[in-house]
Structure 1
Amino acid sequence: MRDYDEMTAFLGEWGPYQRFIFFLLSLSIFPNGFCGLSIVFIGDVPEHRCLIPGNLNLSEVWMNRTLPLVQEGDKLQYSKCRRYRLDVITNLSETFPDLDFFNMSEVEQEPCLDGWEYSKDQYISTIVTEWDLVCNNDWKGPFSMSVFFLGVLVGSFISGQLSDRFGRKAVLFGTMAVQTGFSILQVFSPNWEIFCLLNFLVGIGQISNYVAAFVLGSEILGKSVRVMYSTLGVCISYAFGYMLLPLVAYFIRSWRILLFTLSFPGLLYIPLWWFVPESPRWLLLKGRIQEAEAILRLIAKKNGVTPPAVLFTDVELEDMKAQSIQSYAIIHLVKTRNIRAITIINLLVWMILAIGYFGLSLNTPNLHGDDYLNCFFSGAVEIPAYTAAWLFLQKLSRRFSLSGVLFLGGVVLFFIQLVPSNLSVLTTVLVMVGKFGTTCAFSMVYVYTAELYPTAVRNMGVGVSSMACRLGSIISPYVFYLGVHHEFLPFILMGGFTVLSAILVLFLPETVNIPLPETIDQMQKMKVFKCRSTHNKCYHFCKNATTGEKNLVIKKEEI
């Protein structure tokens, strides 16, 4: 029985229409790059200190003494969250108006009761300055990012189900509308709570848009183009959007205007509705044969090929429908020891990757040097990373390639704490090398995970792994937030976890140049469980040292 790819082989792999769809669907991911990480500038924390009312009539000498000095790292700075009691300062200034020195250690302190004064050197406004998300409320900044990733988690959970029910095209454009619409509404947020709610909805739309475009392209394009589409297509389009973010943010320093400017291009994608087709594969599974055949004949016409008179036989259509109604529960991902071990390792690797990728991306404002250049470099380094991932996926070992780039990305983060403070450029370079390794691994892990699982549970396996990834992204804002307490702690944690994931990957089976498994029984065995399986028992052969004869010995019970 022919599969779908054989049935549609007459279209060719890389005709004019496939190139057109490749470009359009990749282009639809472009806004995800600058909208998803816009919080880097919208939620940045500028320099701040307690606001001192101007009606106190304090001299310049006493005005400078209203704030206590605190030790932050190796620097002595004015406190950002405390001040001396102003009534005491006022009385002292009246008693000692010209005194140039006074011991302030015994003066009682108080919080910033009149709010804060923020530096205008870099920003006109951010959500931090808008709603005073500092000091006792400093947890709200990372929480604003985590809420977005919580929406991404929910979106990744529901997008597949919506796509299977209503179609790839409808979900793609519907979620693009959700992302664009709620991003624009965020501009008018009256308070932090409404901003977070809308940020949650934007997260749902963004990941659903990405997944729908990924699935639609994978189903329209041929086998040989899918790996290129998932790396050099959607991923590099995302990276170009990411690189555009600091350029726009450099010229627009008000968070509301910046967010509106970044959201508005989403409206320009409305005309794509008339150019992007529905997935013929999905239409066939839903029994909409005439619509599917019309699209396939249109593709053939655009590619200049003559389609066969009969595209699908009745037997083939019935077989596809039968395959589509087969159902598997999540329990099948942990049913045997082998698939359970693969699933656990995948969950850990995906979660660690998300923590590393988003932790490094969101940590841009904490790096030395210019924030806008650092953000640009963080986006630019993704282009060679995706290109390298594509090259690795062409012929090299999946297992060793993925483990190697993870090890590279993790080890360089350890060296950051050894860099002298006067070599801040070297620190930035090491961070970018770490970002290169993590990004490269992120692109490769999608393909590797899809090859590890059999057809029966492949979508479920990738979906559950993706949900673990979203949990890691929710945690990531708080990882770089630890830098407030220890400058190098985020890099130590991310480096350690990434090296651990590199080791875990080595236990997974190799999949390069190996046919994709169709059933759970056809899955490759992990190295630690490599054995011959017969009737759910695992055996190994022992060689007699004298005769050389191999004897069959039961080693393990059920795998």
Structure 2
Amino acid sequence: MTEKIREEEIMRLNEPPPPPQGDIMERIITEVGEMGRYQRWLFVSMMPFGLFFIFAYTVQMFIAATPQEHWCKVPELQHLDLDLRRNLSIPGAVDGPDWNRCEVYDANWTQVLQTMMPPVGSPTVPCRHGWEFLYNDIPYTTVVSERGWVCENAGIAPFAQTMFFVGSLVGCAFFGWVGDKYGRVPALIGANLIGCFGGVLTLFTSGVWDFTIARFIVGLCNDSCAIMIYIIVIEYVGSRHRTWISNMSIAVYCGGGALLMVGLALWLLDWRHLVLATSLPMLFVLVTPLYLPESARWLASKGKVNKAVNMLKKFEKVNRRGIPDDLMAEFIVVASQKSTVDESLRAVVASKPLRNSLLVLIVVTMVGNLGIDAILRMSESIGTNFFLTFTLSSASEIPALVLVTLVLDK
């Protein structure tokens, strides 16, 4: 009898622990299917938003790329061959490719045309009549070449990019609040519509400040245009599938989107068409309420129990697996109870373990993003071909995330 009791105890010890009774959603997902038909569809539905995110994040690099071969424009010499007028007017142009891109000889151009000799030794002055550009490295007109944002104006495009990231900071805070207040789906819709509006607005700019404001508005959607669907999908997927879902969605959709960005730029060869091609598709978000489920956790936290139950029943129908009645009844009871747990940021900061974890996440995210962003932003100046360098930098993200997916759970 004693041996039998011991055998039963050993068997109980070897059994996997049941899911925590308080985490009802985890138990429901286990019953309805951790990676069923609906979850697979949700994974696929992440694709457009991964593309929208990478389009918004990188498009300014392509519309504001600077052709490296440029020099001061001299109206009196425009009837001459390109190489000849450059050699006659630009200091150092005769000696090689490292000519002075921001200064021109202060000369009597009528006399220069008579002698057809560069006025070597003449004083130089900054460009007075704009610049000429060779489109060997960037094979289309960009905002920079169109508006002469080089030399003393070279800081304009980086400033606009900085304001994009300021917008991202504001947008993440704002749409995070919207997601908590009104739901993940409304936040997703709002972020993408703002991004589309800012992108289209870019086409109607003509100066520095209107362009910068337009890029700030696009920045408001950065991250938020994709993170909300990311949160929803991760919630509805079983815990053992979350590693590959979270990493492979970034690898395939964001990494693939960066490669698609290069193809679009080289196909369209027009910065305005490129802005339209990367902004207007964001309107796709208007159809998401037809297929994208709202977060059941969020619905339950707001007391919208019936909507949460209906959302879970949709999973039952699509996955063809039912949720036990007693588990659903338990979910309804728990969801109907008013939570007494403080889930505010103040509570996070007050808890030492949570506060330390938050600080570590902030530092790690900043370091990681700085490394990734620096490599991408330097694509224009690393090597001789911006598009090739950007492609290689972006493509390296795919095997890196595949490696993370394979080893993270180990």
Please, what TM-score do these two structures have when normalized by structure 2?
0.84
Report what 2:44 is aligned to: 23
Matched, 1:362 2:377: yes
Within a 5 Å distance, the mapping from 1:450-461 to structure 2 comes to none
Report what 1:198 is aligned to: 214
Contact 1:22 1:233 in 2 (8 A): yes
Report what 2:395 is aligned to: 380
Report what 1:312 is aligned to: 329
1:219-238 residue CA offsets vs partner (Å, 9 max, x unmatched): 22222222222101244211
- SS of structure 2 residue aligned to 1:287: coil
Please, what TM-score do these two structures have when normalized by structure 1?
0.63
> Are the structure 2 counterparts of residues 30 and 93 from structure 1 closer, same or farther at C-alpha, using a change threshold of 3 Å?
closer
1:423-469 residue CA offsets vs partner (Å, 9 max, x unmatched): xxxxxxxxxxxxxxxxxxxxxxxxxxxxxxxxxxxxxxxxxxxxxxx
Matched, 1:49 2:71: yes
Letter in 2 for 1:52: V
Deviation at 1:35, TM superposition (A): 3.0
Report what 1:37 is aligned to: 58
**Of 322, 327, 338, which aligns to 2:340?**
322
Structure 1 CA distance, aligned partners of 2:80 and 2:404?
62
Report what 2:364 is aligned to: 349
Letter in 2 for 1:48: H
| Structure having greater relative contact order (Cα 8 Å, sep ≥ 6) | 2
Contact 2:183 2:298 in 1 (8 A): yes
Report what 1:519 is aligned to: none
Structure 2 CA distance, aligned partners of 1:180 and 1:20?
25
Deviation at 1:161, TM superposition (A): 1.3
Contact 2:199 2:214 in 1 (8 A): yes
Structure 2 CA distance, aligned partners of 1:389 and 1:63?
51
Report what 1:219 is aligned to: 235
**Of 252, 255, 269, which aligns to 2:268?**
252
Deviation at 1:317, TM superposition (A): 2.5
RMSD: 2.9
- SS of structure 2 residue aligned to 1:64: helix
1:106-158 residue CA offsets vs partner (Å, 9 max, x unmatched): x2211101111111333331110122111111011211221111111112222
> Are the structure 2 counterparts of residues 2 and 320 from structure 1 closer, same or farther at C-alpha, using a change threshold of 3 Å?
farther
* Greater mean alpha carbon deviation, residues 56-65 or residues 134-143: 56-65
Contact 2:87 2:118 in 1 (8 A): no
Structure 2 alignment gaps of length 5 or more: 1-20
Structure 2 CA distance, aligned partners of 1:187 and 1:100?
43
Structure 2 CA distance, aligned partners of 1:57 and 1:328?
66
Matched, 1:332 2:354: no
> Are the structure 2 counterparts of residues 206 and 347 from structure 1 closer, same or farther at C-alpha, using a change threshold of 3 Å?
closer
Structure 2 CA distance, aligned partners of 1:2 and 1:330?
20
Deviation at 1:371, TM superposition (A): 2.6
**Of 272, 291, 304, which aligns to 1:275?**
291
Report what 1:9 is aligned to: 30
> Are the structure 2 counterparts of residues 142 and 330 from structure 1 closer, same or farther at C-alpha, using a change threshold of 3 Å?
farther
Deviation at 1:23, TM superposition (A): 1.4
Matched, 1:296 2:312: yes
Structure 2 CA distance, aligned partners of 1:134 and 1:71?
22
Structure 1 CA distance, aligned partners of 2:93 and 2:364?
40
* Greater mean alpha carbon deviation, residues 163-172 or residues 385-394: 385-394
- SS of structure 2 residue aligned to 1:231: helix
Report what 1:439 is aligned to: none
Contact 1:71 1:77 in 2 (8 A): no
Structure 2 CA distance, aligned partners of 1:318 and 1:204?
35
Report what 1:67 is aligned to: 90
Deviation at 1:57, TM superposition (A): 8.7
- SS of structure 1 residue aligned to 2:139: coil
Letter in 1 for 2:91: P
Structure 2 CA distance, aligned partners of 1:269 and 1:318?
31
Letter in 2 for 1:276: L
1:240-279 residue CA offsets vs partner (Å, 9 max, x unmatched): 1111011111122221112112223223443333011111
Deviation at 1:30, TM superposition (A): 1.9
**Of 202, 210, 223, which aligns to 1:186?**
202
Within a 5 Å distance, the mapping from 1:424-503 to structure 2 comes to none
> Are the structure 2 counterparts of residues 25 and 66 from structure 1 closer, same or farther at C-alpha, using a change threshold of 3 Å?
closer
Structure 1 CA distance, aligned partners of 2:391 and 2:380?
12
Structure 1 CA distance, aligned partners of 2:22 and 2:197?
43
How many pairs are equivalent? Answer: 384
Contact 1:153 1:204 in 2 (8 A): yes
* Greater mean alpha carbon deviation, residues 347-356 or residues 308-317: 308-317
Structure 1 CA distance, aligned partners of 2:164 and 2:47?
23
